[in-house]
Amino acid sequence: MITTPLIIYSVLAYVANPGNNTVSIIDIETNLMTYNILVRSIPYRLAITPDGMRIYVANYGDLTISVIDTIANAVTATIFTEGNPSGLAITPDGTRIYVTNEDNNTILVIDIATNTVIATVYVGTTPNEVAITPDGKYAYVTNAGSYNVSVINTNTNTVISTISVGYKPSGLAITPDGKHAYVTNKFSDNVSVINTAINKVISTIFVGYKPSGIVITPDGMYAYVTNAGSNNVSVINTAKNTVTATVFVGDAPSGIAITPDGTHVYVTNEFSDNVSVINTATNTVTYTTDIKSNSFPIRILIKNGM
């Protein structure tokens, strides 16, 4: 009997580098940078399809989105947008991508099968980040200029609620159970916790200076927040909504991602040109991966192995 050998792919981290218009690949097993993919001007944020086959990169500098094939690790398509794309999120069923356009206060809804825009949703001023609930029914958008969060019904692509938060909301993450959204408020030095059942802020947590990115552990027990102004990461216990640890990393930490098993958090340090690896059991930095000089790594995502 002839059997087909099982191919196992490594868990990989993809890092957006606006300084040299590339996306770097880090092998999580070795924590070494293995490859650079050239994209377009000022890559800013990234999103990956549920099957892990494609990564979408928002190129803030030239109003485009690059589509990367994760097997070939090459750009296979370019989508032209209507404004400066910033944040992006893909629906759990992998059919649509939601993109924030900062300069025209809209969200573009893109059909992934055709890479074409199928809807435009007007939100608040300077939409920044977007996250979609695990059931795919709602998209939450941080509006940095109007200090609020828009809630979009993804079935009708209409705004159904607007929630006031702190000053210059930036990062956004939704708990695995979909019950809470955590929002970093960059110039308030805090995190707003939104109850998604009633779309109201139920708690405010003070963290470090200029909080930016945020990620929640797979078990939903902790949120990790990058504080770009104080060069550290705050660890929030989500049951108590209190900071339980502070981890010092590199200069101007911004992007953050967590491994599928929840054991390590990866942090991009924009002005250090490197990535810090945090062990979540001890909340200590166990490794630092160098990225090319003047690459200014700003965001990161992690692709599960296959």
Query: Quick one: pLDDT at residue 5?
Result: 39
pLDDT given for residue 292 in this prediction? 87
Query: Could you say which DSSP state residue 7 is in?
Result: P
pLDDT at 1 over 50: no
Select the more confidently predicted residue: 9 or 283: 283
- Confidence category of residue 9, pLDDT binned at 50, 70, 90: low
What is the pLDDT of the chain when averaged over all its residues? 94
The stretch 153-178 carries a mean pLDDT of 98
| pLDDT reading at 255 higher than 70 | yes
pLDDT at 52: 94
User: Is 183 a residue whose pLDDT tops 50?
Assistant: yes
- 10 vs 189, more confident: 189
Query: 234 CB contacts (<8 Å, ≥6 apart)?
Result: 207, 208, 211, 224, 225, 227, 243, 245, 246
Confidence of residue 82 (pLDDT cuts 50, 70, 90): confident
CB 85 within 8 A of CB 100: yes
pLDDT digits (tens, 9 = 90+) for 242-254: 999 999 999 999 9
Selection from 234, 231, 236 nearest residue 253 by Cα: 231
The whole model's pTM is what? 0.95
Task: State yes or no: pLDDT of 10 exceeds 80.
Answer: no
Burial 218-255 (b: 16+ CB within 10 A, else e): eebebbbbbbbebbbbbbbebeebebebebebbebbbb
CB of 270 within 8 A of CB of 297?
yes
Predicted confidence at residue 83, as pLDDT, reads: 82
Task: Give the confidence band of 71 by pLDDT, cuts at 50, 70, 90.
Answer: very high
> Taking the CB of residue 281, how many other CB atoms lie within 10 A of it?
9
Q: 6 vs 164, which has greater pLDDT?
A: 164
Two tokens, residue 286: 């166990």
For residue 271, pLDDT over 50 is answered with: yes
Q: Is the pLDDT of residue 8 over 90?
A: no
| Tokens describing residue 44 | 């800013």
Are the C-beta atoms of 112 and 76 separated by less than 8 Å?
Answer: no
Tell me which H or E stretch contains 160: strand 158-164
pLDDT of residue 2: 39
Dump pLDDT digits (tens) for 122-163.
999 999 999 999 999 999 999 999 999 999 999 999 999 999
Among candidate residues 264, 291, 289, 263, the one with its CA nearest the CA of residue 276: 289
